[in-house]
Structure 1
Amino acid sequence: MTNRTKLWIAEAMKRLMNKKSIEKIRVTEICNEAQIGRPVFYYHFKDKYDLVAWIFYDSAIDTNIISSESAAHHMNKMRNDFLFYKRAFEDSSQNALWKYIVEYYTNRYTQEAKRILNTNTLDPQIQFSIKLYCYGCVGMTKEWLLHDNITPAKTIVEMMFTSMPQVLRDIYFK
């Protein structure tokens, strides 16, 4: 039931973001669009930025980060929600989605490296490379999404994997 309510609220937010930017949307509008009370909204999300981050998280959670097919599928889902992601990427507030995405993927790649290497800690160079790679990928995803209507997602993902620092490719793609 909780996830269904979150999805209901998320769909309301997406409809609103099809009409205007995130900074112009108020929680009251989200509640009205979703036909819920403010307490219901705040039970599930701390603010509208938390909701936007959850929408991304919900779409990304099943992505296999070291599979080009899975990553391309996720990028295509982002393109299908073009206006939502366009407006989310345009937001430059302290709670901007791109910052959340970098943190999310940095954590995913870190956990995957720890799992593969069977360790609880990573060398500082590996941690730096993961963060550098994630910043670059998020930037290139934003550029692809907003400005490239030609290149297939699979091609972009393959170029990202090819551009991955060697230290990471040695871990993820032995």
Structure 2
Amino acid sequence: MIDDRETGILLICTAVPAEAETIADLHLRARSTYYPDGVPQGDIDWQAAWRGSIERTDAHVLCAVEKGSIVGIASFRTPDGAGADTVKLFQFHVDPGRWRSGIGRALHAACVEQWRADRRRAAVLDVHVDNKRAQAFYAREGWLPDPQTPPAAGDHHLYLRYTVPGETPGE
């Protein structure tokens, strides 16, 4: 992990496998805020899942680091069945104690920068219908409902699409 205790500057860096436990803890704390009855219990080992995401060669996991602590995370890759110009944002979380401090905007900007470098034109994500705070954040960042993926009956997610702005490098 990058140690920024001296500067106090928010840094965005690529996650390493040794950070999987810290990332999984932040993920669960953030998710627990929008499930009315708490995060659904399941047999998912989130630490192992995050380690797997970090180690994937076709994925990116970015961390926002402030004063030596991970305060935000984003995970994205090309989704199965999608074209090479589309990326899916699978996870995007900011430590609940740090909401509305600019971390999410900085982390989102880093994602967009990487998508442009990777020649992506569009990004997609699904967001839980009860997560109104995240929906408002994504709307402020320019995400719109995805007309190609309307929610199915009983689905608990909204599907959003983002057009990566500007010229794609190398064109």
TM-score by length of 2: 0.34
Higher strand fraction: Structure 1 or Structure 2? Answer: 2
Q: Using CA pairs under 8 Å that are at least 6 residues apart, name the structure with larger relative contact order, 1 or 2.
A: 1
Higher helix fraction: Structure 1 or Structure 2? Answer: 1
State the structure with more CA Rg: 1
TM-score by length of 1: 0.34
